[in-house]
């Protein structure tokens, strides 16, 4: 993390692109050397990365570089497609029976291993015969740099605990948002473009490359697979029993043994846990598309060189796996799609199952304590002179805490076009009401929820939602949206539209309008109306009296009692806290 010339180059990379040469040819490979290969503590800048892929695509007709949508930086998102027969159309590739591997890089530009590894891999797949053969059954789509604005914001200090490269980008994007929380809420142009690109390719496997923080241990690379207990069972079984053992085995046989991500409870000695990747994260988002997804996390204290090469090796291991197991992978995915379409019960949230604990043979460093030179208090350190290999607990099972039955269809008032637009970008089929119509639907009333006290990724996230349901006849209008739940993308539909889900539109504040009352009452005026109303409605009188008897504070508050009558009278607005999306339970 030395101060270097690269620090000053950050100014240059913000300049617009210049036109660039198209004179490369396959016999001259000298311009296909990456910046990392010239200096293994260097990661390519955004401009260098795109220029490299341009040279590559000009050299090899089997590599296509194109722009795909905009990002917050003002620069477009790029897709690199590597297809051995030069077929770049997703439908055609799929009809050939090929698998599609999607690689995302620099979502956190301070963690750029994937950028450099992907550049070298794309080139080597063209130049090295044994690698080239791996393209027979797989087409690869690479996002060279996802968080472009973060990547342009280059420096040498923001990753305080990281060992190189000399200069790198910043985690926040131009809105200072973490793109790895934005896959559902879509506050950034990056996420909106990504949603469309991901849907276009509908990949079978996603690799989203990262670098870790946290404990020290012997491994250079760790792996977060999407949480297995959230997946459709056919995919989960395939991933856990076929794919993961093969990937871990391949990595162990190679240069960089890999371990599950070290999500330590305290230190790894106490055990590590599987990460619950909600749909806001890349892997959780991909899971809603029934895409098996991974976040490899290289270890921040290992040399950048090893981090890049281990990322490279992992991607090769994945290609090798697919080469042999493509049919099993596609079959599992097909079953998952069918189950998503046909199942009626959807799990929305989970908790760790502390009863089900596996053991993991782990190569760590002993955690020790010594006095801190800063505080004088005891501090933790990992003693690299004391490596160990031992079994540690691995908590990797989750159980559902919230199940819902899908409705026949959801009806969404046209006013909520923004969420419908996002859903369409994810391949959701949406119909519109041809006429005004009164529909009998199940409606949620928001009974209770909590809201974060601090902003979280540009929002005040809602949690712990409690709802009550009722069947009502609701007036809908021509142009309102209908989403049927007979779709392969049902997991996405249910997880965003069911308000209790952790990453629902409701949780991300798209329905905050309904949480505020629009009309109130003046106590002195409402007194007489309330008295008359209670005379005419003895049942409300009875419940008022009951509440007074049970609740001393309520009994002493005239306002609270008037409010109680108001809320049980026709004067109270029905739209307050009524979730506006109706659940049609039958045709």
In the complex, minimum distance from the CB of residue 285 to Zn ion, in angstroms, rounded to a whole number: 15
The DSSP symbol for 578 reads: B
Cα(565)–Cα(530) distance, rounded to whole angstroms? 6
Q: At what angle do helices 490-497 and 304-342 cross, to 10 degrees?
A: 90
Q: Which is nearer to Zn ion, 108 or 123 (CB)?
A: 108
Build a one-symbol-per-residue string for 59-98: x at contacts with Zn ion by CB under 5 A, - elsewhere.
Answer: ----------------------------------------
Residue 443 CB, nearest distance to Zn ion (Å)? 40
Hey, how many other C-beta atoms are within 10 angstroms of the C-beta on 336?
25
Number of helical H runs and strand E runs in the chain: 18, 20
40 vs 30: CA distance, rounded Å? 17
Q: Which span sits near Zn ion by CB under 5 A: 3-11, 54-62, 209-217, 489-497?
A: 209-217
CB closer to Zn ion out of 63 and 224? 224
The residue within the footprint of Zn ion, chosen from 72, 79, 111, 232 (CB under 5 A), is 111
Give yes or no for residue 108 binding Zn ion (CB under 5 A). Answer: yes
User: Binding Zn ion by CB under 5 A: which of 159, 210, 422, 563?
Assistant: 210
Q: Which helix (H) or strand (E) holds 364?
A: strand 358-371
CB 110 within 8 A of CB 168: yes
Place of tokens 């089929």: 429
Q: Which stretch binds Zn ion (CB under 5 A): 109-117, 299-307, 402-410, 476-484?
A: 109-117
214/268 with CB nearer Zn ion: 214
Which residue, 456 or 510, has its beta carbon nearer to Zn ion?
456
Nearer to Zn ion, 212 or 340 (CB): 212
Q: Record the tokens describing residue 256, joined without a space.
A: 């960089």
| Interface segment toward Zn ion; rule CB under 5 A; list 21-29, 31-39, 103-111, 244-252 | 103-111
Residues sharing a CB contact under 8 Å with residue 17, sequence separation 6 or more, in sequence order: 47, 50
Beta carbon nearer to Zn ion, 210 or 406 = 210
Nearer to Zn ion, 186 or 296 (CB): 296
Residue reference for tokens 């339970």? 585
Q: What angle, 0 to 180 degrees and rounded to 10, lies between the N-to-C axes of helices 5-13 and 46-59?
A: 70
- Helix/strand/coil for 186: coil
**Tokens encoding 359:** 């053991």
Q: Which is nearer to Zn ion, 111 or 277 (CB)?
A: 111
Q: For Zn ion, how many residues bind (rule: CB under 5 A)?
A: 3
Tokens of 60: 């090899």
The string of DSSP letters for 246-277 reads HHHHHHHHSSS-EEE---BSSSGGG-EE----
Distance, CA of 27 to chain centre: 41
Nearer to Zn ion among residue 220 and residue 419 (C-beta)? 220
The minimum distance between CB 169 and Zn ion, in angstroms, equals 12
Cβ proximity to Zn ion: between 210 and 302 the closer is 210
Site membership for Zn ion, residue 116 (CB under 5 A):
no
306 binds Zn ion (CB under 5 A): no
Closest CB 318 distance from Zn ion, rounded Å: 19
The answer to whether 347 and 227 have CB atoms below 8 angstroms apart is no
User: By C-alpha distance, which of 362, 380, 334, 354 is closest to 269?
Assistant: 362
Contacting range for Zn ion; rule: CB under 5 A; set: 203-211, 285-293, 486-494, 553-561: 203-211
Residues 283, 207 contacting (CB under 8 angstroms): no
Stretch in the footprint of Zn ion (CB under 5 A) among 102-110, 138-146, 365-373, 470-478: 102-110
Residues in contact with Zn ion, shown as a per-residue x/- string from 356 to 395 under the rule CB under 5 A: ----------------------------------------
Query: Smallest distance, Å, CB 212 to Zn ion?
Result: 8
From the CB of 181, what's the least distance to Zn ion, in Å? 11
The window from 105-113, 129-137, 343-351, 527-535 that contacts Zn ion (CB under 5 A) reads 105-113
**Nearest distance, CB of residue 448 and Zn ion, angstroms:** 34
Minimum distance of Zn ion from residue 194's CB (angstroms): 15
- Comparison of 159 and 210: residue with beta carbon closer to Zn ion: 210
Nearer to Zn ion, 111 or 313 (CB): 111
296-317 burial by CB neighbour count: b if 16+ within 10 A, else e?
A: bbbbbbbebbbbbbbbbbbbbb
For the CB of residue 210, give the shortest distance to Zn ion in the complex, in Å. Answer: 3
Stretch that binds Zn ion, among 49-57, 111-119, 241-249, 493-501 (CB under 5 A): 111-119
C-alpha 50: how far from chain center: 25
**Window of 40-48, 208-216, 370-378, 559-567 that interacts with Zn ion by CB under 5 A:** 208-216
Q: Are 459 and 509 in contact (CB under 8 A)?
A: yes
Nearer to Zn ion, 111 or 349 (CB): 111
- Distance, in Å, from the CA atom of 469 to the CA atom of 516, rounded to the nearest integer, reads 19
Nearer to Zn ion, 138 or 212 (CB): 212
In the numeric block, the tokens 């992978």 are attached to: 329
Cβ at position 506, least distance to Zn ion in Å: 27
Residue 87: name the closest of 144, 23, 141, 25 by CA: 141
Look up residue 233 and give its DSSP letter.
H
Instruction: Name the one range near Zn ion by CB under 5 A: 5-13, 106-114, 228-236, 326-334.
Output: 106-114
**Integer Cα distance of 124 and 62 in angstroms:** 13
Decide: 494 and 288 in contact? Cβ < 8 Å.
Answer: no
**Residue 499 · residue 507 · CB < 8 Å:** yes
Q: Which residues bind Zn ion (CB under 5 A)?
A: 108, 111, 210
């Amino acid at each position: 993390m030395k101060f270097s010339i690269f620090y000053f180059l950050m100014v240059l990379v913000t300049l617009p692109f210049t036109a660039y040469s198209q004179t490369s040819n396959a016999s001259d490979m000298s311009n296909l050397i990456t910046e990392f290969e010239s200096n293994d503590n260097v990661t390519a800048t955004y401009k260098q990365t795109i220029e490299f892929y341009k040279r590559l695509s000009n050299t090899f007709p089997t590599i296509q570089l194109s722009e795909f949508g905009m990002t917050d930086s003002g620069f477009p998102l790029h897709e690199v497609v590597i297809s051995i027969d030069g077929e770049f159309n997703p439908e055609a590739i799929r009809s050939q029976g090929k698998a599609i591997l999607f690689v995302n890089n620099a979502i956190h530009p301070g963690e750029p291993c994937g950028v450099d590894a992907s550049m070298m891999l794309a080139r080597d797949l063209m130049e090295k015969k044994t690698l080239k053969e791996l393209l027979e059954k797989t087409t690869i789509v690479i996002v060279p740099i996802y968080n472009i604005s973060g990547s342009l914001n280059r420096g040498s200090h923001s990753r305080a605990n990281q060992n190189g490269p000399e200069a790198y980008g910043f985690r926040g994007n131009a809105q200072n948002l973490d793109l790895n929380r934005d896959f559902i809420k879509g506050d950034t142009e990056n996420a909106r473009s990504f949603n469309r690109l991901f849907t276009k390719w509908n990949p079978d496997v996603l690799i989203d490359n990262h670098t870790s923080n946290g404990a020290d241990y012997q491994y250079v690379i760790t792996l977060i697979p999407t949480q297995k207990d959230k997946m459709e069972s056919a995919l989960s079984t395939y991933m856990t029993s076929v794919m993961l053992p093969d990937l871990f085995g391949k990595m162990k046989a190679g240069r960089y043994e890999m371990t599950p991500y070290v999500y330590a409870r305290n230190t790894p000695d106490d055990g590590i846990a599987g990460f619950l990747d909600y749909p806001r994260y890349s892997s959780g988002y991909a899971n809603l598309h029934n895409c098996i997804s991974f976040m490899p996390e290289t270890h921040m204290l290992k040399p950048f060189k090893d981090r890049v090469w281990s990322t490279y090796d992992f991607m090769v291991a994945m290609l090798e796996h697919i080469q042999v197991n493509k049919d099993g992978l596609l079959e599992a995915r097909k079953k998952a799609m069918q189950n998503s379409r046909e199942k009626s019960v959807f799990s929305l949230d989970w908790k760790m199952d502390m009863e089900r604990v596996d053991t993991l043979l782990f190569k760590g460093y002993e955690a020790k304590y010594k006095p801190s030179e800063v505080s004088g208090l005891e501090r933790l350190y990992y003693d690299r002179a004391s490596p160990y290999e031992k079994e540690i607990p691995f908590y990797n099972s989750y159980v559902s805490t919230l199940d819902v039955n899908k409705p026949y269809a959801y009806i969404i008032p046209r006013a909520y076009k923004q969420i419908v637009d996002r859903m369409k970008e994810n391949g959701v089929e949406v119909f519109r009401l041809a006429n005004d119509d009164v529909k009998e639907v199940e409606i949620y009333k928001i009974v209770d929820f909590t809201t974060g006290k601090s902003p979280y990724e540009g929002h005040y996230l809602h949690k712990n939602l409690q709802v009550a349901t009722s069947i009502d006849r609701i007036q809908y209008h021509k142009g309102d949206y209908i989403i049927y739940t007979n779709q392969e993308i049902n997991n996405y539909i249910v997880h965003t539209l069911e308000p209790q889900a952790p990453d629902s539109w409701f949780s991300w504040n798209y329905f905050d309008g309904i949480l505020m009352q629009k009309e109130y009452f003046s106590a002195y005026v409402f007194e007489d109306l309330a008295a008359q109303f209670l005379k005419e409605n003895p049942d409300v009188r009875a419940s008022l009296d009951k509440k007074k008897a049970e609740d001393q504070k309520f009994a002493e508050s005239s306002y609270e009692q008037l409010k109680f009558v108001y809320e049980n009278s026709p004067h109270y607005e029905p739209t307050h806290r009524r979730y506006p999306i109706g659940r049609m339970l039958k045709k």
